[in-house]
Structure 1
Amino acid sequence: MPSGPWKNLSADFCGPLPTGEYLFVVIDEYSRFPVVEIVKSTSANETIPIVDKLISIFGLPKVIKTDNGSPFNSHAFKEFAENTGFHHRRITPRWPKTNSQAESFNKPMMKAVLAARIERRNWQQEPFKFFRQYRGTPHPSTGFAPFSLLFNRETRTKLPQVPTYKPNAVDECARQNDEVAKRKMKQNATFNNSPNDIHCGDVVLMKNEQKNNKLAPNLDPKPYNVVAKKGGMVTVSSTSGMEKNVTRNTSCFKRIPNTLAPGSVEPEVAEGEELILERKDEQVPISDSKSMPMQNAAPTLAPETIPKSKPTVQFSDKRTTPASNVTEPYITRSGRIVRKPAVF
């Protein structure tokens, strides 16, 4: 038995299957943990990438034991072993018992594949259920599950379990380093990002996610209403109510005043309601709201507001004297009502 997990491996091909494919099996001799890949051929060009992928996931082993098949006798696999840094050991020809770990696993695996074909199920997916059960069941030789020996923890299954994980010094150190790193990243994010001022009920513009060209605007001109907010997640709905709610990060929105929202309309005055223009303690009623001028148009005075007789000037001795050279009031271009002073 090897001194530790993933140091000595056994590899073998199983097949061909009725579909013309093969099963490439790699087993750790310490934990009996199996890894199976489906390949279309047994050439070195198909085998080397799979072995390289397993090494990148689980680490570099010391020895890989195989039979004398054509992919393992090739010059390409020999160079791959030398460049990667593991020893390739080939067993005695025509004596498969030397590679018993891989050969013994092929028997129950092929039963699972055959049962899937008889039951007309997907034979490429059904064996994964067998792999989960095999890796989580104590092996008769070691008395421990292959998963627990390889990863130093118990695998999670549907059955109720009692947690047996005990933190060690490495775990405590890793947690402290992780907390310090996350606190530093949070401080940098708070320093670099502007404060979020989006709240429920605000009118916002969303980031344009579908740009047809380089000149497309960064923000979608369609306004949205903020209906929910949870942390940095904001949910908005279209002001027209014709689209579904959209959830994005707060950085994808920009708040705008309600008066700047497209489609907003100035309040109108009902027909028949009077508006009052106040100028120096004077009130000039305007009966029709539709005759209200715009910014550059002058309002129209009602006929009853224009005096028909000459105005008089009140003196302190309560004498009434007609004012001479008094002209009629007129309206300027800005909408102001002007009366020239009386000349005595």
Structure 2
Amino acid sequence: MEARGKERIRDFATYMGFTHRKITPLWPQSNAECERFMRSIGKSIRAAHTQHKNWKQEMFTFLRNYRATKHATTDVSQAKLLFGRNIKTKLPTITPKYQDNEIRETDKRKNDKMKNYADTRRNAESSDLKIGDTVLVRQDKQNKLSTPYNSNPYKIVERNGTMLTAKRDDGHMITRNSSFYKQVKIPPTIVNSEKEQEQEESSTQLRTSGRMNIAPAYLKDYVK
């Protein structure tokens, strides 16, 4: 059933001409625009329910006003970008002229500003994890005795930007953002001890000392 559902989504994307891009699990920041919009819709539905109004009608009213309002990032309403004109609302408006290049430059400038602000607040650092590294995966806290990271180590097998896929020895795979991983290094003593053990197992010849044993002079009378 799951495979059939994925096939239908793939066929629908091909038919409509868009690319279906998966986001990182448990990382809503990668789909922040949709997450923030769902928050606004939920607020309007709760307000309609509190005022005993038809929530579907109020949701349509909210969507109409949202699409006619100038966007904070592009400085242009979504209806203007889609239809090339502003849609009619109950508020009087003046339609200014915009250039497509100006909108793109404004969008890029404000997106970069928001990213720099978020990175500064979170003390974000670039991840240097690469394929083949041994890592631990952050886990949810179940009780006071649970550790922040799962003690079973994984190895990075795939990287797509900040989305990393790791695999465990038993075959279990997990995909998370790079902030969910903590790199661990195998101590050199363990590696050296394993090599020494292999050398001892492969060697069958015993070592003997070449030193000659000579009896001391005061024992000459006792030596036959």
TM-score, length-scaled by structure 2: 0.48
TM-score, length-scaled by structure 1: 0.33
Q: Which has the higher strand share?
A: 1
Q: Which has the higher helix share?
A: 2
Q: Larger relative CO (CA 8 A, sep 6+): 1 or 2?
A: 2
**Greater Cα radius of gyration, structure 1 or 2:** 1
